[in-house]
A and B are shown apart, each in its own frame.
Chain A
Amino acid sequence: ILNVEQSPQSLHVQEGDSTNFTCSFPSSNFYALHWYRWETAKSPEALFVMTLNGDEKKKGQISATLNTKEGYSYLYIKGSQPEDSATYLCAFENFNKFYFGSGTKLNVKP
């Protein structure tokens, strides 16, 4: 069983703040790292799939970076809005299996 860790567990920010979260994963046998956004009472939705060391992906005000050599990925949200409130999950993909972290729960106050 592979260990995928996310920090912090939860985060409370004000509207307009920028924030970032960390996902740590094993640095050996890397295949892909996924980020998902999970709103309460809904299903997880994919944000990014990252495969190459140094990869940077962006979708609107959300961006992610990847360092496969040291085994971490950062997710950044610039200028958080209340609608960004959700749990953000990362998942390490290895030989068709996905290992999810327990998520970072973001609450953005208006």
Chain B
Amino acid sequence: NAGVTQTPKFQVLKTGQSMTLQCAQDMNHNSMYWYRQDPGMGLRLIYYSASEGTTDKGEVPNGYNVSRLNKREFSLRLESAAPSQTSVYFCASSAQGPFEQYFGPGTRLTVT
């Protein structure tokens, strides 16, 4: 039982490059989330998916797109990376609430 997994763990991009962050959970959770964590800002919700086939914007969605590929997988795409997107990205999942969220190990992204 792996819980929530994220790939990659680290990534360095140049401005304008694109990439996809992958997230998968094996707990049969309906809800999945993407957050970014910046110093002094706590966790901010980028996008979430309340169930397979649905996605919705969070607090800071600009510059990102998401895909809920199936119940297990929720990916986050940066189409044209910018230095302001340098951050640590966390994926999380939960049963339909209110239940606790389970977090992945995070992806540290640097955009130069």
Chain A residues with a Cβ under 8 A of chain B: 1, 31-32, 34, 36, 42-46, 49, 51, 89, 91, 93, 96-103
One of A49, A97, A102 near B99 (C-beta < 8 A): A49
The total number of A-B Cβ pairs within 8 Å is 56
Question: Are A98 and B101 neighbours in the complex by a CB distance under 8 Å?
Answer: yes
5 A-B residue pairs with CB within 8 Å? A1-B59, A34-B98, A43-B90, A93-B98, A100-B42
- Asked whether B48 lies within 8 Å of A89 as measured between CB atoms, the reply is no
Beyond A43-B103, A97-B58, 4 additional contacts (C-beta under 8 Å) are: A46-B101, A91-B43, A96-B50, A98-B101
Q: Which residues of B contact A91 (CB under 8 A)?
A: 43
Whether the Cβ atoms of B48 and A31 lie closer than 8 Å is: no
Cross-chain contact of B105 among A43, A96, A101 (Cβ < 8 A): A43
- A2 CB to nearest chain B CB (Å): 9
- A34 x B59 contact (CB < 8 A): no
Alpha-carbon separation in the docked complex, A21 to B63 (Å) = 35
Which 7 pairs show the lowest CB-CB distances between chains A and B?
Answer: A46-B100, A32-B98, A43-B103, A102-B42, A100-B43, A100-B42, A96-B50
